[in-house]
Amino acid sequence: MSFRIDNTEIVIEQGDITEIDVEAVVSAANNQLYMGAGVAGAIKRKGGQEIEEEAVRKGPIPVGSAIITSGGRLKAKHVIHAAVMGIDLVTDAEKIKNATLSALGVAEEASIKSIAFPALGTGIGGFPLNEAARIMFNAVKEHIGSRKSSLGKIIFVPFGYEAYSEFLRRADVDFKSAE
């Protein structure tokens, strides 16, 4: 499923975020930037330990902010580490919104044209899928609406069929009116 806001294509796709052909993938990070489990762990396993080492050298960062590193052995050239939680692994709506906006801002600063997001905060953070999708979609609309975006494509790659289905349902509500 895809939608368009101005010059940016928004896509919801089922698959493995570590295999998506984009310039940057977003890692659901803790503010210490250690990549242990969930999406961060999958990115580290596929892309290499050097991604975590580079991230940790740039941290810690405030919850809700983001930094960029190389993509190691991933298809993506970069990983944007969005701190959606602290080391306590607790997240909420505001942290998800701020982490999404920060990741988009970092992508703009790096002149990235395509980016893939996981369902931030819904794995280890335990945040409800439908609500995370709503928050992230609203953040994307806010970001694109506030500037001439360099992002040509934003892909959401929630893990698993249940997450994918929830993101599709939410996108049908949130992006249908934006077309």
CATH at 57: 3.40.220.10
- Which structural domain, as residue segments, surrounds residue 91? 2-178
Give the contacts of 149 (CB within 8 A, at least 6 positions apart).
Answer: 6, 7, 8, 108, 143
- What is the value of pTM for the model shown? 0.94
Cβ atoms of residues 27 and 41 within 8 Å: no
- Tens place of pLDDT per residue across the chain (179 aa): 888 888 999 999 999 999 999 999 999 999 999 998 889 999 999 999 999 999 999 999 999 999 999 999 999 999 999 999 998 989 999 999 999 999 999 999 999 999 999 999 998 889 999 999 999 999 999 999 887 888 999 999 999 999 999 999 998 888 765 44
Q: Which helix (H) or strand (E) holds 101?
A: helix 93-109
The total number of structural domains in the chain stands at 1
Structure tokens at 52: 């975590």
